[in-house]
Chains A and B, each alone.
Chain A
């Protein structure tokens, strides 16, 4: 037979231990909340998620040797170099797709970097470019000769014409189909796409794995400076 005072004591101890348990749990929760509140979890810089913008791609088509303009909504970084790489990456992704009209393996990772530099006068003694005679919006593009573009002073550094140096991977060049037309279309679509999205880019040069390479795949000369604007099928470029 348990004495009555022992029952009362047991009851008090049980209530006390439950109350202590609840208090401890509350304290733990409050301590956890304080800890979270104490940490500065606010981002130190804005997240690098670029807003989607309309990008203009000049997409090559092997069946008729044309460049067709395509408008796509893409997340485009504000930095011009990164922007250039993003649009070219998308262009090369289209070429790497299974049903591509201008099939080239590699995709976006084939463009390692795009450097933007102030454009300098080139080929002062060279012939003036042969301008395209485009009567048909699907007309075959015409690759220009060289011309001049001379920026001067600090203002031109900021607003003047730019030379884009596109660094491609060796595997892209090695796996590119060989032929005058297919290589020319790749080069011109890159030049035209750069100019369409970065109008200051007027000249384009190519590197492969950071070094100069004679041709893309046996035909298109990669040692020269290309004029970006001359790759544009003029009738198709609209804002």
Chain B
């Protein structure tokens, strides 16, 4: 992790301070219900990037989604997916599925051969007050503070699993329209300090380690969500 702990702490603190009302007014849910949306990015004709093992990004994201779904299922977490086959799903449809699920966490999964470790992204929309009918393209605004907090939890879990991470903010149409704490997770190969690849995206062990760390993060997030 190249961000210092302080940077991350400041980022999360600023996000929370910026919209305390958002966090309080987030829809209250029964204690037992904890839903996670897993969005396998790309699909169908929209292949995403080409990985070094010849696989398309869309195949990688689907495999990782399935792996994570089973890990979460084993931990008693209900999972909703935006796709479970090689199908093209529009960003609007992805957000629609996520919003319909009224989930406590939404992860949009990507894979890239560029960079190293795991890249986490939160929407670049400014924190906004929740409104009854938010604009579709900026609906995530009311959830940004919670999304930053979720990113912090995911980041901690990945660091604890010995992975390097980067955390930044960007515009992604599907995520920007989601009304849930949402983080885009882009998995890149694991590299040594000499930039040699130590674990590629096609490495099942690496996929398992990433999925396990993400599952641990969501379990931690559930624990935090259930605390009064």
Interface residues of A (CB under 8 A from B): 62-66, 125-130, 133-136, 138-145, 177-182, 184, 217-219, 221, 224
A180 to B166, CA, bound (A): 12
Pair B10/A135 contact, Cβ less than 8 Å? yes
Spot the interface stretch: B20-28, B80-88, B92-100, B120-128: B120-128
Question: Of A127, A138, A180, A217, which one neighbours B125 at CB under 8 angstroms?
Answer: A127
Pair B138/A126 contact, Cβ less than 8 Å? yes
The 10 closest A-B pairs by CB, nearest first: A178-B49, A179-B112, A182-B114, A64-B2, A65-B166, A140-B168, A62-B115, A135-B7, A181-B119, A179-B114
Residues of B in contact, count (CB < 8 Å):
45
Pair A141/B168 contact, Cβ less than 8 Å? yes
Pair A142/B112 contact, Cβ less than 8 Å? no
Question: Of B2, B48, B112, B144, which one neighbours A181 at CB under 8 angstroms?
Answer: B112
Name the B residues within 8 Å of A138 (CB-CB). 2
Pair B113/A177 contact, Cβ less than 8 Å? yes
Pair B166/A64 contact, Cβ less than 8 Å? yes
A180 to B111, CA, bound (A): 9
A125 to B10, CA, bound (A): 28
Q: How distant is A118 from chain B, measured CB to nearest CB, in Å?
A: 24
Check B226 for interface membership: any CB of A closer than 8 A. no
Given A135-B10, A141-B168: A181 touches B4 (CB 8 Å cut-off): no
A217 to B141, CA, bound (A): 26
Chain A residue at minimal CB-CB distance from B8: A135
Chain A residue at minimal CB-CB distance from B119: A181
Name the A residues within 8 Å of B114 (CB-CB). 62, 177-179, 181-182
Given A66-B2, A128-B126, A130-B144: A180 touches B112 (CB 8 Å cut-off): yes
Q: How distant is B152 from chain A, measured CB to nearest CB, in Å?
A: 13
Check B65 for interface membership: any CB of A closer than 8 A. no
Name the B residues within 8 Å of A125 (CB-CB). 135
